[in-house]
Amino acid sequence: MQSIAQLDDISLRTPEGKIILNHISWSLESGQRWAILGPNGAGKTTLLSILSAERHPSTGSVELLGETFGRTDLRALRMRIAKVDPSLRMLDWLHGSEAVLTGIRNTTWPHWDDWGDAEYARATALLESIGAGQFANEEIAHLSAGERQRIRLARALIKDPELLLLDEPTTGLDFPAREALLLSLDALTTSHPDLPTLTVSHHLEELPASTTHVMLLRGGEILEAGPTSEVLTSANVSACFGFPIDVFEMGGRWGARAAAGWTS
């Protein structure tokens, strides 16, 4: 498999000396679909900002998409990476396919002169590939939060990224919307089988069934990282969250609850 990211002993400290990430070594390869789990303050978002080429670590080395931090233009590198951000605002009066096409230039404003029949067909095909083709001709204003998030996913894919990052993609979604989005993410294994993905979450229930690997992060350090079924044990997840947790798996999906006998 092709190497996508290689972090060698990276740490990140604030100017005041607070340690955010501490001696992280980790690798990501093509086709892998990772999730990062951990409590608030674990360093998940900071790690994602490094993997999106938005910041450098304080120490250690980073190789991302064949480029080494400190020897490459991070602005050019960022163009090869897509991020699905639930806070991204889309213009209410755009149709779904038009909102998807704004991802080509990574703007919110449409560039109709750039778009012909081929571009619209590609946007619609992308939506269909994740089970959202019915939204191609719907105005954003008429779509629910979950439907808009699926538009954001197709928008991220329109520029053929080499790495897809998802920062708590199911935030604020109700149960049906969450499940629809997770099915869209699972569909990537068919439509984009080699595309590596990295999803940040607090909850095991929010992991797509297609998740191949998991990293447990606590206090800026990796507690465990590896294949999903090996990492997501009750003992490991309890240690990560500092709380007694029973972990269970059903049909490729994961869940968690307070360990039997626990009282506050």
Digit-coded pLDDT (tens) for 29-54: 999 999 999 999 999 999 999 999 99
pLDDT band at 264 (very low <50, low <70, confident <90, very high): low
Average pLDDT of the residues in 211-221: 97
What pTM did the predictor assign?
0.92
pLDDT digits (tens, 9 = 90+) for 164-179: 999 999 988 899 999 9
Q: What mean pLDDT do residues 11-35 have?
A: 94
pLDDT in tens, 228-238: 999 999 999 99
Q: What is the pLDDT of residue 263?
A: 62
pLDDT of residue 83: 92
Sorted by where each begins, the domain ranges of the chain are 1-79+168-175+192-264, 81-160
Q: What's residue 68's pLDDT? A: 95
CATH dotted code for 1-79+168-175+192-264: 3.40.50.300
Residue 151 is predicted with a pLDDT of 94
In the 3-class helix/strand/coil scheme, how is the chain assigned residue by residue?
A: CCEEEEEEEEEEECCCCCEEEEEEEEEEECCCEEEEECCCCCCHHHHHHHHCCCCCCCEEEEEECCEECCCCCHHHHHCCEEEECCCCCCCCCCEHHHHHHHHHCCCCCCCHHHCCHHHHHHHHHHHHHCCCHHHCCCEHHHCCHHHHHHHHHHHHHCCCCCEEEEECCCCCCCHHHHHHHHHHHHHHHHHCCCCCEEEEECCHHHCCCCCCEEEEEECCEEEEEEEHHHHCCHHHHHHHHCCCEEEEEECCEEEEEECCCCCC
pLDDT value of position 11 = 96
